[in-house]
């Protein structure tokens, strides 16, 4: 059932392999190193694959075996994405990998609750927005362009088409009750400038979680970090690395 395929190089240096099944595409995005700590980056449908390149490269340089989990292109629902996340546990034994997710993928990871050793959730909305926002699905139809927010509020975030059903699910997350405490240890990163997952939608819903660490990404920055900025901020990556190395 599994097949191995070569994926494109990243920054002209990398090669890698992919384990693809019906429900997910799990790609080894760098050099394959047996025995190194394994980190799976879960991408958000609607966000372009290039968004996580900085993390991939930095993690690889820091001595991790980096994999990227993308929902299959035909995944048009929240359930389909959660299924692809749960599928990781069919490939690797419980506790043998860490997860790193940004944005809506983080919420989907928590809801799927895979048996990771650790989870790092960056700018992931875990509870409802406390006041109505201007978010909306930008265009009607079976497929819409990216995340349901005005692009000027998202910072530097490359986007791609996503199913309207998923975009509506993202919108609905802004009213959904708080996520449940996952089984894995969790490191939460949030920024006040992030409209998708402002600090009150990350810190407050998770206050009573066990094994949870929280870090305010913009506590020491001159300017608040927006949603997309979290993906290529050096200080944010340093904290992620520090946590994963513990």
| Residue from 193, 231, 232, 236 binding other proteins (CB under 8 A) | 193
**Cβ distance to other proteins smaller for residue 66 or 157:** 157
CA distances, 245 to each of 37, 38, 88, 97 (Å): 9, 11, 21, 12
Q: Residue 238 phi/psi, 5° resolution?
A: -55, -45
Question: Residues 181, 186, 189, 194: what is their CA dihedral angle, to the nearest 10 degrees?
Answer: -30
234 binds other proteins (CB under 8 A): no
Look at the block and give the residue holding tokens 């409209």.
Answer: 195
131 binds other proteins (CB under 8 A): yes
178 binds other proteins (CB under 8 A): no
**Cβ distance to other proteins smaller for residue 13 or 130:** 130
Query: Angle 99-156-31 (CA atoms, 0-180°, nearest 5)?
Result: 40
Question: Which of the ranges 90-98, 110-118, 156-164, 198-206 carries the binding residues for other proteins, by CB under 8 A?
Answer: 198-206
Q: Smallest distance from the beta carbon of 200 to other proteins, in angstroms?
A: 4
| Residue from 135, 144, 147, 187 binding other proteins (CB under 8 A) | 135
CA distances, 65 to each of 28, 94, 228 (Å): 8, 17, 24
Binding stretches for other proteins (CB under 8 A): 130-135, 149, 153, 192-193, 195, 198-200, 203-204, 207, 214-216, 218-220, 222-224
């Amino acid at each position: 059932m599994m097949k191995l395929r070569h994926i494109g190089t990243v920054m002209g240096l990398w090669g890698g392999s992919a384990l693809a099944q019906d429900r997910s595409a799990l790609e080894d995005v760098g050099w394959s190193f047996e025995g190194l700590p394994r980190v799976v980056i879960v991408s958000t449908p609607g966000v372009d694959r290039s968004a996580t390149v900085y993390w991939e490269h930095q993690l690889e340089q820091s001595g991790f075996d980096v994999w990227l989990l993308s929902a299959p292109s035909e995944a048009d629902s929240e359930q389909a994405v959660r299924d692809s996340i749960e599928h990781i546990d069919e490939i690797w034994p419980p506790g043998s990998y860490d997860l790193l997710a940004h944005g809506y993928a983080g919420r989907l990871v928590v809801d799927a609750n895979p048996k990771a050793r650790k989870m790092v959730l960056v700018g992931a909305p875990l509870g409802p927005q406390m006041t109505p926002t201007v978010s909306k699905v930008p265009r009607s139809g079976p497929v819409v362009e990216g995340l349901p927010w005005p692009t000027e509020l998202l910072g530097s975030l490359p986007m791609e088409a996503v199913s309207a059903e998923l975009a509506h699910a993202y919108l609905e997350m802004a009213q959904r009750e708080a996520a449940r405490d996952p089984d894995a240890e969790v490191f939460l990163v949030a920024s006040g400038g992030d409209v998708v997952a402002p600090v009150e939608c990350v810190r407050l819903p998770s206050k009573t979680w066990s094994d949870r660490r929280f870090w305010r990404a913009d506590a020491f920055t001159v300017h608040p970090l927006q949603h997309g900025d979290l993906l290529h901020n050096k200080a944010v990556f340093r904290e992620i690395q520090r946590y994963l190395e513990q």
